């Protein structure tokens, strides 16, 4: 299983998966896409996700994450898509950790979304979409 490259556990019905993201996911060193959208994951976003160095897409939207966005997410040099919106208890700031990241000379994200709209729970000056 350590060779797994894509893991999509997106729920299309109601609550879906609950609890915390299992720490065992941190061992999937070749994982390129982690889609955990539309579930009921709770607790903090694990800092161990920063070990997934091949990750190009991290979709954690529409869950119940709490706390702040871990700085380790900013260490994911291959990350191009990051979706964090619709996590009512998730706060923090993306500006310093994420917005300054570049891929050579250009901003490296293709899609970056958070709750930076009217409620401004997650200030983000570089998000491509705010909710």
pLDDT at 14 over 80: no
Looking at residue 77, what is its pLDDT? Answer: 86
> Quick check: 122 and 93 in contact, CB under 8 A?
yes
DSSP result, 63-84: SEEEEE--GGGGG-TT--EEE-
- pLDDT, the chain, mean: 86
Q: What is this structure's pTM?
A: 0.88
Q: CA 125, CA 99: separation in Å to the nearest integer?
A: 7
pLDDT at 107 over 80: no
Cα torsion at 31, 99, 90, 43 (round to 10°)?
A: 30
Q: CA 96, CA 99: separation in Å to the nearest integer?
A: 6
């Amino acid at each position: 299983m350590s060779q797994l490259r894509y893991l999509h556990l997106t729920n299309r019905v109601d609550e879906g998966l609950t609890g915390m993201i299992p720490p065992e996911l941190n061992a999937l060193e070749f994982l390129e896409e982690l889609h955990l959208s539309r579930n009921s994951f709770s607790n903090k976003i694990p800092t161990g996700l920063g070990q997934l160095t091949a990750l190009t897409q991290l979709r954690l939207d529409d869950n119940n994450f709490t706390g702040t966005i871990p700085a380790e997410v900013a260490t994911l040099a291959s990350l191009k898509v990051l979706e964090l919106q619709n996590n009512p208890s998730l706060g923090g700031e993306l500006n310093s950790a994420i917005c300054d990241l570049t891929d050579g000379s250009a901003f490296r994200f293709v899609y970056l979304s958070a709750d930076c709209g009217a409620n401004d729970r997650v200030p983000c000056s570089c998000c491509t979409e705010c909710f």
